[in-house]
Structure 1
Amino acid sequence: MRQNCTAIIVAHNHPSSDPTPSPEDFAVTKELVQAGKLLDVELIDHLVIGGGQQKFVSLKERGIVF
C-alpha cells in the first residue's frame, strides 16, 4: 500500500495444518474486497496455507468472487 500498489494477494497460515477456509477467512476476504474498492486496489487472491497433503487453498480457485 505504501508503494501505490494496484493489486494485492493475501496469504495466511492455519496452525492446524488444515488449509480449509474458515467462515472467518471468508468474512475477512469480503472485508478486504470492500476496502480494496474504496482504495482502488484489486484483491487478486486469498491463500490459506496448510501443512498436510493439500499445501494451500486458493479462494479464487474455489470460485469466491472478488
Structure 2
Amino acid sequence: MKSHGELLDLNIHHRLIGTSIVSVGSLSGAVVHPREVFRDAMGYSASAIIVAHNHPSGRPAPSKEDIKVTQYLMLCGDIMEIPVLDHVILGDNLFYSYKENKVGRIKL
C-alpha cells in the first residue's frame, strides 16, 4: 500500500465542501507542499481544512517529518486565514489526531 495525503475542505460552518488527494507517496514517505494543499483549499473557497494521510506500516504515530509538515501547514493556514483544524493519520484500524493529542503550533 502507498501513502496518500488527503485534504478535506470545509465551509464557514465546518461542513465538507470538497476533498482532494494532495500527495501520493511510496511505502516510506510522500512529499507534501503547502502550495498544493492550499491551492486546492482556495479552489473550494474553504474556510478551514483537515489534512489526513495513511501510514502503510499500520502504525498511526506521527513521525518527526509528520510533525514538522503539520506545524508548517498550520503556520501557512494561519497566514492565509484558512486554519488547519486537524491532521489525522490512519493506520490499521487505528488513527492519530493532532487535535485530540493537543499538538502545539510553531512558536515564532
The TM-score, its normalising length taken from structure 1, stands at: 0.88
CA RMSD between the two structures: 1.1
Provide the residue aligned with 1:57 in structure 2: 96
Shift of 1:40: 0.6
Q: Deviations over 1:21-63 (max 9, x none)?
A: 11111001111011101211011100010015xx100011111
Secondary structure of residue in 2 paired with 1:47: strand
Provide the rounded CA distance (Å) in 2 between the counterparts of 1:62 and 1:38: 23
Q: Which segments of structure 1 move beyond 3 Å, counting only runs of 4 or more?
A: none
Once the two structures are superposed, the pairs formed by residues 26-65 of structure 1 within 5 Å of their partners are: 26-52=67-93, 55-65=94-104
- Number of positions where the alignment pairs a residue of Structure 1 with one of Structure 2: 64
Unaligned runs of 5+ in 2: 1-40
Identity of aligned residues (%): 41
Provide the rounded CA distance (Å) in 2 between the counterparts of 1:40 and 1:10: 16
Query: 2:80 is matched by which residue type in structure 1?
Result: L
Max Rg structure: 2
Provide the rounded CA distance (Å) in 2 between the counterparts of 1:35 and 1:57: 22
Unaligned runs of 5+ in 1: none
